[in-house]
Amino acid sequence: MRGTGKMTTGPVPPPKSILLHEVGLRDGLQMESRVVPFEKKAAWLSSLLDSGMDIIQVGSFVHPVKVPQMADTDELFRRFTAEKKSKTLLSGLVLNEKGLERGLACGVEMFCMGASASETHSRKNTGMGTDEALTRIIAAAKAALAAGKKVQVSVQSAFGCGFEGPVQEERVLKMVRAYLEAGLVNISLADTAGHASPAQVERLFSAVFALNAGADCACHFHNTYGLGMANMFAAMRAGVNSFETSFAGLGGCPFTRVAAGNVASEDFVHALQLDGRRKDISLDRLLEVARDAAALFGRDMQGFVYKTGPVRAKSAV
């Protein structure tokens, strides 16, 4: 690791706090046809908790027939909320009222739910168009808030759609306004298909902050076209302070067309630590999980640092 000389003198100061939201157990694994055994998921979740990530998404409450990989989400929550000692929040993705019910019953601490700005993606993902999906998600989100839970709402396909191509920014902002009017200020924009460019990311998040400067914005990028990490830094510059990543760079959405992995958690933490930030996170634990995932799936994952090891000060050779 480098010294602290790199920390504070950048031309534009980054946000005061950076929240790290690990979503590999959900957005990562849902793409994998090979169902990961419960005890393996539990071991990864345990290591991720040890790493100090701020929020960890444990799974989604989708019908087990639709995504068998997520069938043990309730059980994972019960195991870890019963004995959890760290301050890390455990989040779960819910897609409908039934999922909310399951999540409330098994101890979800933060509910993530969203609707797609792409009509086609929305119908494929939920069987409903954007408007209907949005209305139902807002109702579910308000119910979760009323139950005393933290809630993050998202706009999926916010930067483009694998089916429809470009997505009008006004469509996204209309959904954001609906969330804000419902009192939902924790808002994630998700680049489900990986179409976002850094300029677009800055522009769209700036437009969201123009609607409500106090919004808590999160971002979620897929690396389909090699722009995931660049978009993370563009979002940071726009004032976003919550960043969704997956260990090893796992990821993708089973109901969109072309989607590659998320930005790798360990690569993003490594990048922050190069600048002396979030040195409270154990990069070593993240690297262990990434290496273990690569071993389990038996293939090269999209992350970089789990292969190269981190930048270290080396003595001259």
Least distance in angstroms from the C-beta of 305 to a second copy: 6
Distances (CA, A) of 286 to 30, 59, 80, 211, 241: 19, 18, 18, 36, 20
Least distance in angstroms from the C-beta of 296 to a second copy: 20
Residue 55, strand partner residues:
21, 89
Nearer to a second copy, 77 or 306 (CB): 306
Nearer to a second copy, 5 or 148 (CB): 5
Nearer to a second copy, 84 or 174 (CB): 174
Nearer to a second copy, 297 or 304 (CB): 304
Least distance in angstroms from the C-beta of 259 to a second copy: 9
Phi, psi torsion values for 159, nearest 5 degrees: -115, 10
Look up 217 and say whether it is catalytic: no
Q: What are the residue ranges of helices labelled H in the chain?
A: 38-51, 73-83, 97-106, 119-126, 130-146, 169-181, 198-211, 228-238, 265-274, 283-297, 305-308
Residue 152, strand partner residues:
112
Least distance in angstroms from the C-beta of 213 to a second copy: 15
Least distance in angstroms from the C-beta of 50 to a second copy: 23
What is the DSSP annotation of 235-256?
HHHHT--EEEEBGGG----TTS
d(CA 92, CA 77): 9
Least distance in angstroms from the C-beta of 2 to a second copy: 5
d(CA 178, CA 261): 29
The H or E element spanning position 216 is strand 216-221
Q: How far apart are the first and last CA of the chain?
A: 18
Residues that bind a second copy in the complex, under the rule CB under 8 A: 2-3, 5-6, 9-12, 14, 119-120, 160-166, 193, 195, 197-200, 202-203, 206, 223-227, 229-230, 232-234, 238, 257-258, 260, 264, 267, 270-271, 274-275, 300, 303-305, 308-314, 316-317
Nearer to a second copy, 102 or 123 (CB): 123
CA R_g for the chain: 18
Nearer to a second copy, 98 or 203 (CB): 203
Closest CA to 147 of 186, 94, 107, 176: 107
Residue in the structure block whose two tokens are 């409903």: 128
Structure tokens, 162? 């694998």
Point out the residues that are catalytic: 253
